Structure formats: structure tokens, C-alpha cells
């Protein structure tokens, strides 16, 4: 989640127990705080189609995006995503 979004939403954040080096999809290091992710948000409730889940976000600049759901989240919840329309659905389990 971007620092700007955290500030606007007045969300709590704190030091990560295990900071890590972040590499973008091209294999390059991010150009932010020595390429290390040091901070995470406190619990944030998000809602998708009436389904609520509490997640923690890493804090880093995201350009035009406010927040990004990472691969671990997508793997755990196995959402159905239409990449053309941008629609997201909860899969029936």
C-alpha cells in the first residue's frame, strides 16, 4: 500500500519483523529505502463482493495504484479475476 494512501486513510503502520529486499518483475531492485521493505500496515479490512477479509499490506510507493494484492493473497483466496474488465469474484469452494 502506498504511503500516501496510508496517510489519507489514517491507517496504522509499524516496522516489519523481517524486512526484505524487493525485486520488481524485471528483476531490478525497487528504488525506495535501499530496496528494502521495512514497514507494514496494521490490519486493514477489505471487501470484495460483500466478502470481508483482514490483511496486512507492505508499505511502498506504487505510482498511480493505492494498494496491490500480492501473490500470497491471490494464492490463498484464489480469486476469479477478469483481466479485461477488471472484475474480481470470489470462487465458490
d(Cα 42, Cα 36) in Å, to the nearest integer?
19
- pLDDT of amino acid 64: 83
- pLDDT of amino acid 93: 56
Domain boundary assignment for the chain:
3-89
Global pTM reads: 0.74
Output the tens digit of pLDDT for each of the chain's 93 residues: 999 999 999 999 999 999 988 887 788 887 777 888 899 999 999 887 788 889 899 998 888 878 888 888 888 888 888 999 988 887 765
Of the candidates 51, 48, 56, which has an alpha carbon nearest to the alpha carbon of residue 16? 56
The answer to whether residues 22 and 34 touch, using CB atoms and an 8 Å cutoff, is no
- pLDDT of amino acid 88: 83
- pLDDT of amino acid 11: 93
- pLDDT of amino acid 78: 86
Amino acid at each position: 500500500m502506498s504511503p500516501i494512501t496510508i496517510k489519507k486513510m489514517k491507517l496504522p503502520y509499524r516496522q516489519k519483523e523481517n524486512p526484505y529486499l524487493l525485486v520488481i518483475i524485471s528483476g531490478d531492485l525497487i528504488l525506495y529505502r535501499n530496496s528494502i521493505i521495512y514497514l507494514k500496515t496494521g490490519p486493514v479490512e477489505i471487501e470484495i463482493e460483500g466478502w470481508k477479509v483482514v490483511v496486512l499490506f507492505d508499505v511502498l510507493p506504487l505510482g498511480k495504484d493505492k494498494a496491490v494484492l500480492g501473490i500470497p493473497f491471490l494464492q490463498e483466496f484464489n480469486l476469479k479475476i477478469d483481466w479485461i474488465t477488471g472484475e474480481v469474484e470470489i470462487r465458490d469452494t
